[in-house]
Chain A
Amino acid sequence: MTEVLAEALAEALEAYRRNPPQPGLALDGWRFELSQAHSVGAGLKDNKLGGPYASPMFKRQTGGEVYLIWADGRRSVSEIDSKTLPDLPRRMEIWRSASYTEEVGAEILPPAGLPEVKLLDGRVASVVETDHAYLFGILNRIRKELPGYGVEFMDAEAMAVQSRRSVFNSRGLFVEYDQTLFSFYAAADHTYDESFRERRLPTEEEIAALIAEVGETTARLKKPGSLASGSMPVLLSSRVVEGMTEKYLLHSLAGQNVINGQAAYRLDDFLAHEQVARPDLHLTLNTTRDLRPGSYRCTREGVPAGRLPLIKGGCLQTPLLDVKYARKAGLAPTPLVSDLSGLEFELGEASGLTELIEEIDEGLIVYGVLGLHTQDSASGNYSLTAGQALGVKNGKVTGKVKSVIAGNILENLKDPGTKAGLEPRKDFPALLVRSTVTVE
């Protein structure tokens, strides 16, 4: 269906390029990305499977983006869906009326060699098509096992998606492939949650480990602890580091923010490979790993997926550049981040979490923060409520402490005292940083 729709849309747009119905609607180039997805999901809310707020659901959705270069050089960009093709004459007029001029705009790329990346798991497709019982099975397992950890209220959701992605353009790019995505999460007593998100089904061990982690961490977070305010070592969990990487580092690596002066780093800093972090910090984009949610074969503009150092040895390498901002920067376009699992974050030689905790005389382990989305990305400053955190004294966990942590993450990444610790099954390391803690 998508294949037919995508090909028909390509033909229709090409007709506007070769033989426009009126001169004002003549195209010089076009590209589009179209995806037709089928998904099924089921949920658990306050221990109850289904119900009006967590009804099992089915979704069929066609969506994407079209980018047009008109014969006079103006540009248009718009969302597209299943109704775009039959409505194309009217949409072309609307898009033309919303066209704009750019001194340096994106160009249509010629086809390039694309890497082979495995993005489809037939078992996920089976869940979407027929095996809905698999979703209910995971939720019922969560519902059965979490109370064993003293959990009173459980929320959870499981979802499977199958889609066909088409990326076509007027210079002969015709890429189509099928992909899948499976995700589930479990939350206990509104205190702690964990999630799984891959292009494949989870293994039995992964399901068991996730449920155990939620149950055990929630139990630890229910025991009260104590801590005095002050400057101290704070262990940011993998999840917190992931959130901070997105909020601060990715913001300041995004080409649009760099070129327009809205990032911590300027283009000159990248060109000079400025040292912005410790020499043993490496941040790499890798969008080619099989069955990872952050992987793909090409961006919507046709830039091939790949592996690309963003910060190497603590030095800036390149901003993340779409075609337009690559032209503005005078650099090559890069693959882009579609999911944080596409990032590889390394800091020195990481140790185990237990060893890191044992090193703390008096400090805090932070599992979750409130207010990250309200922070000033470019400055690196943070002031966050650590709602789910454990106090540590003489290397031992004392119990739950609610506090506010404040500092600057960009400075933390320069600090020789910052250490990394590996958490099982996590993409990002936990980081032991120095931070100001105000205990509530």
Chain B
Amino acid sequence: MERPGKRPGSTRSGLRVDRYDAVAKAILARAQKEGVYAIGRFQDKRQTTISVINGRTDQMAADLSSGVGVQVFTPEGYSGFASTDEITPEAAVALVQHAAGLARASAAHGAERSQIDFGAAGVARDRILPGQRYPFDHLDLAEQERRVLEINRQVKGLDERLSVRTIFQLVEEDWRIVRSDGTDIAFRMPRGFVYHLIVAREGKKTATVRTSVSGSGLELLLDEAVQARLRKRAASTVDMAVNLLAAPRVKGGHYKLVIDYALAKGLAHEAFGHAAETDGMETSILGKDGRFRTGDEVAAPTVSIIDGPLEGDYAYQPVSANGVPRGTVEIVNKGRLKAALADLFSAEKAGVPVTGAGRAEAYYHIPIPRMSNIRIQMEDPLPLNKEFEDVTPEDLYGVLRRDNLIQPGEEVLYLSGYLGGQVNPRHGDFVFNCAGIYTLGERCVLHRPAIFSGKVLSALHAIVAGIGPVHTDAMGTCGKSGQGVPSSGGANAFLVIDRNDDITIGGE
């Protein structure tokens, strides 16, 4: 049943973290007494998860979690960190003492001194609540469960060879950052997804595929347009799973490629975004002597890469975990490096402005520069006359022929469906995987997935065309330094990547 919004534990601002005034004061007072600069981070999260397998509820959970972390900096530049799930003034005082004690102890063992210009980002005092069509409690859990069961049964019914797991998750995460300079800023990050893990089986053969929709909350279950999109995605993913059962392997080597926007998000994220994060600039391929290579040409003049929070997006975060409002950053502008993803701790060293890029998975983690929503935007993209979900491999072949992007007899592979990736920013190596590979032609042939790997800069230089409008809703979880934070992004519906000896498809 739908019902009006109700927010238990919320305050006048609507943010639950505003309950912690006394604890915030205790942190700052104790820091002053210890003679250290403090950053206090409160996190208050509620989450519901519904997991359905083959038409039956496997598990439902409603979880609450909260805690506080304190990072301190001594006047000499040594730092320490402490955290707890107890949010009381007494616990907070103990945290500051622990963190300050560790910072001083590290000094005796040869720790690094960092002089951080906390004034670089200014003092922020704000409360940020993004607009949401439906509040967290708009739909009771029984109705959410009913809808997820229905979604799952629809997919399961598409083919008798399927096993389908559907997960719906809804998260409302409130953060508050207080600093010794008077910063006191709080914000909400709402998000959700519906995700299908589909296994097709015939005899001993299996093929596993995934598809999803993501956003800020209950619109995923309530809006017909979103539901229709998920149904289309599920139907084409099921087709792929069943056809993969008998699909051959592709021959390993170097090819001209077409990738969909979810894979392009993987390319932007793995191949490029991580290398633009300032905490690794000393060893990144986009750095020289620890400084970001601003102005260097890294791609064709038609390519721009942008990162920044989008309201309503799965990875929306308006403020960094250090209390700095997050900016939208044009990392690459018309093929040239323009700006890095920088936080308070390493922007100055990297020679770039602070952009509020620090993110942390939880109050017990130390923030590091991260992406939010990263997208590749091509100038003058080729037109696409269908919705993304309706485009078949044969349609793509038609577009490539129409615009002379494929020559007679040329072997072009279309990589479809992003399954995740990994990068080594120092060496500039990236990999990512897809759900399936089509050889494009009058009759397109599906092959099993194979890893797509290459060199960051070669891959960017090899992007030759974009097809269709920009899509930004490809979701994922970024696992940098063992911290999982929501990430998303995209590109034009499809990107064309020229054959390049530094880009390899693994196979037979």
Binding site for B on A (CB under 8 A): 40, 42, 45-46, 48-63, 76-79, 81-83, 90-91, 94-95, 97-103, 132-133, 136-137, 139-140, 153, 189-191, 229, 256, 260-262, 264, 370-371, 373-379, 381, 383-385, 387, 402, 404-406, 436, 438, 440
Are A383 and B66 CB-contacts (below 8 A) given A50-B78, A153-B282?
A: no
Min CB distance A214 to B, Å, is: 16
B249, B253, B451, B504 — most chain A CB neighbours (10 Å): B451
Asked if B485 is at the interface (CB within 8 A of a chain A CB), the reply is no
User: Nearest chain-B residue to A103 (Cβ)?
Assistant: B56
A99 to B60, CA, bound (A): 7
B507 and A406: CB pair below 8 A?
yes
**Contact for B364 among A56, A61, A103, CB less than 8 A:** A61
Cα–Cα, bound, A379→B48 (Å):
31
Cα(A288)–Cα(B385), bound, Å: 62
Q: Judging by beta carbons under 8 Å apart, are B145 and A133 in contact? A: no
B429 — nearest CB in chain A belongs to which residue? A387
Q: Are B102 and A58 touching (Cβ within 8 A)?
A: yes
Contact B111 A58 (CB under 8 A): no
Q: List 23 A-B contacts (CB under 8 A).
A: A46-B282, A48-B111, A50-B111, A52-B71, A55-B79, A57-B80, A58-B102, A61-B85, A62-B86, A77-B60, A102-B56, A136-B109, A190-B426, A370-B431, A376-B206, A379-B205, A379-B207, A383-B506, A385-B429, A387-B424, A404-B507, A436-B508, A438-B507
State the Cβ distance, A239 to closest chain B Cβ, in Å.
15
* Minimum-distance CB pairs A-B, first 3: A404-B506, A50-B111, A438-B252
CA distance A264 to B203 in the complex (A): 10
B residues near A402, Cβ cutoff 8 Å: 429
Residue of chain A at shortest CB distance from B111 = A50
B450 touching A57, Cβ below 8 Å: no
Q: Return the CB mask of B349-369 against A: 1 if under 8 Å, else 0.
A: 000000000000000101010
Measured in the bound complex, the distance between the Cα atoms of B282 and A49 in whole Å is 15
B379 lies within 8 A of chain A by Cβ? no
- The reply to whether A79 and B506 form a contact with Cβ atoms under 8 Å apart is no
- Known contacts: A50-B111, A50-B112, A387-B424. The answer to whether A58 contacts B81 by CB under 8 A is yes
Question: Which residue on B lies nearest to A51, using beta carbons?
Answer: B112
Most chain-B Cβ atoms within 10 A of its Cβ — which of A76, A136, A404?
A404
Of chain B, the residue at the smallest CB distance from A54 is B366
**Contact pick for B98, options A58, A99, A133, A371, CB 8 Å:** A58
Taken residue by residue from 318 to 346, chain B's Cβ proximity to chain A (1 for < 8 Å, 0 otherwise) reads as 00000000000000000000000000011
**Beta-carbon contact of B451 and A133 below 8 Å:** no
What is B's interface to A at a CB cutoff of 8 Å?
8, 48, 53-54, 56-67, 71, 73, 78-87, 91, 95, 98-99, 102-103, 105-106, 109-112, 114, 116, 140-141, 145, 163, 165, 197, 199, 201, 204-208, 249, 252-253, 279, 282-283, 345-346, 364, 366, 368, 419-427, 429-433, 448-451, 453-454, 502, 504-508
CB pair B83–A404 under 8 Å, yes or no, is: no
Contact A189-B79, Cβ < 8 Å, known A46-B283, A385-B431 = no
Identity of the chain B residue whose Cβ is nearest the Cβ of A440 in the assembled complex = B504
CB distance from A80 to the nearest CB of B (A): 9
In the complex with contacts A52-B345, A83-B85, A57-B102 CB distance below 8 A: yes
Question: CA of A52 to CA of B114 in the docked complex: distance in angstroms?
Answer: 7
Complex CA gap A55/B82 in Å reads: 9
Point out the residues of chain B lying under 8 angstroms from A55, CB to CB.
71, 79-81, 99, 102-103, 106, 366
| B54–A260 CB distance below 8 A | yes
Q: Is the CB of A91 within 8 A of B102?
A: no
Complex contacts, A376 vs chain B, CB 8 Å? 206-208, 449
A383–B109 CB distance below 8 A: no
State whether A77 touches B61 (Cβ < 8 A).
Answer: yes
**Residue pair B165, A260 in contact (C-beta under 8 Å):** yes
Q: Which residue of chain A is the closest to B62 with respect to CB atoms?
A: A98
Which single member of B73, B82, B208 contacts A57 (CB below 8 Å)?
B82
Q: Which residue of A lies closest to B87 (CB)?
A: A83
Contact among A60, A94, A260 with B62 in the assembled complex (CB-CB below 8 Å): A94
A97 (CB) vs chain B CBs: closest residue: B141
**Cβ B426 vs Cβ A189 within 8 A:** yes
Instruction: For B201, list chain A residues within 8 Å (CB).
Output: 261
Please, how many angstroms separate the alpha-carbon atoms of A149 and B79 in the complex?
Answer: 30
CA–CA, A49 and B106, complex, Å:
8
| Chain B minimum-CB-distance residue to A133 | B109
* B300 CB, nearest partner CB in chain A, Å: 23
Known contacts A261-B54, A379-B206, A404-B507; 5 further A-B pairs (Cβ under 8 A): A53-B366, A56-B80, A57-B102, A58-B102, A385-B431
Q: A48-B112, A373-B420 are in contact. Are A383 and B54 (CB under 8 A)?
A: no
Q: Which residues of A contact B141 (CB under 8 A)?
A: 97-98
List the B residue with the shortest CB-CB distance to A104: B56
Question: Cβ of A440 and Cβ of B453 under 8 Å apart?
Answer: yes
Bound Cα distance A153, B419 (Å): 31
Q: Are A383 and B449 in contact (CB under 8 A)?
A: yes
Residues of B within 8 Å of A261, CB to CB, are 54, 163, 199, 201
- In the complex formed, the residue of B with least CB distance to A139 is B109
Most chain B CB neighbours (cut-off 10 Å) among A132, A264, A438: A438
Contact present for A406 and B506 (CB under 8 Å): yes
Query: Which of the listed residues B114, B366, B433, B507 has the most CB atoms from chain A within 10 Å of its own CB?
Result: B433
The answer to whether A371 touches B431 (Cβ under 8 A) is yes
Bound together, the chains give a CA A9 to CA B109 distance in angstroms of 42
User: How far apart are the CA atoms of A57 and B481 in the complex, in Å?
Assistant: 15
Q: Using A55-B71, A438-B507 as known contacts, say yes or no to A406 and B252 having CB atoms under 8 A apart.
A: yes
Residues of A within 8 A of B282 (CB): 46, 153
Is B80's CB under 8 angstroms from A383's CB?
Answer: no
Q: Which residue of B lies closest to A50 (CB)?
A: B111
Residue of B62, B95, B110 with most chain A CB atoms under a 10 A cut-off: B62
CA distance A394 to B53 in the complex (A): 52
CA distance A385 to B252 in the complex (A): 12
Contact between chains at A57 and B109 (CB < 8 Å): no
Report yes or no: B504 in contact with A404, Cβ–Cβ below 8 A. Answer: yes
Q: Closest CB-CB distance, A326 to chain B, in whole Å?
A: 15
B84: chain A residues at CB < 8 Å are 59-61
Instruction: From A57, A61, A91, A405, name the one whose CB has the most chain B CB atoms within 10 angstroms.
Output: A57
Give the interface centre of A56, A90, A137, A139 by most chain B CB atoms within 10 Å: A56
Q: Are B366 and A52 in contact (CB under 8 A)?
A: yes
Q: Which of the residues B61, B106, B368 comes within 8 Å of A50, measured between beta carbons? A: B106
| B17 CB to nearest chain A CB (Å) | 14
* Residues in A whose Cβ lies below 8 Å from that of B165: 260, 262
Q: Which residue of chain A has the shortest Cβ distance to B109 in the bound complex?
A: A136
Out of B80, B109, B424, name the residue touching A370 (CB < 8 Å): B424
Name the B residues within 8 Å of A404 (CB-CB).
252, 450-451, 453, 504-507
Query: Shortest distance in angstroms between A104's beta carbon and chain B's nearest beta carbon?
Result: 10
B42 → chain A, closest Cβ, in Å? 13
Asked if residues B80 and A52 are in contact (CB atoms below 8 Å), the reply is no
Bound Cα distance A404, B454 (Å): 10
**B507: which A residues are within 8 A, CB to CB?**
383, 404, 406, 436, 438
Complex Cα distance A437/B452, Å? Answer: 14
A residues in contact with B106, CB < 8 Å: 42, 49-50, 55-56, 136
Contact of B65 among A52, A81, A132, A191 (CB under 8 A): A81
A261 to B207, alpha carbons, bound, how many Å? Answer: 11
Q: Which residues of B contact A63 (CB under 8 A)?
A: 85
Give the CA-CA distance A123 to B100 in the complex, in Å.
Answer: 24
The interface residues of chain B lying within 8 Å CB-to-CB of A78 are 61-63
Given the known interface contacts A100-B57, A385-B506, A440-B502, the answer about A51 and B451 at a Cβ–Cβ threshold of 8 Å is no
Say whether, besides A262-B165, A383-B506, A404-B453, A153 and B57 are in contact (CB < 8 Å): no
Least distance between A85 CB and chain B CB atoms (Å): 12
Rounded to whole angstroms, the CA-CA distance of A259 and B65 in the bound complex is 32
Give the residue name and chain of the A residue nearest to B144 (CB).
A98
Contact status B109-A95, CB under 8 Å: no
CA distance A350 to B82 in the complex (A): 46
CA distance A387 to B432 in the complex (A): 13
Per the bound structure, the CA–CA distance linking A406 and B253 in Å amounts to 12
Alpha-carbon distance between A132 and B101 when the two chains are bound, in angstroms: 11
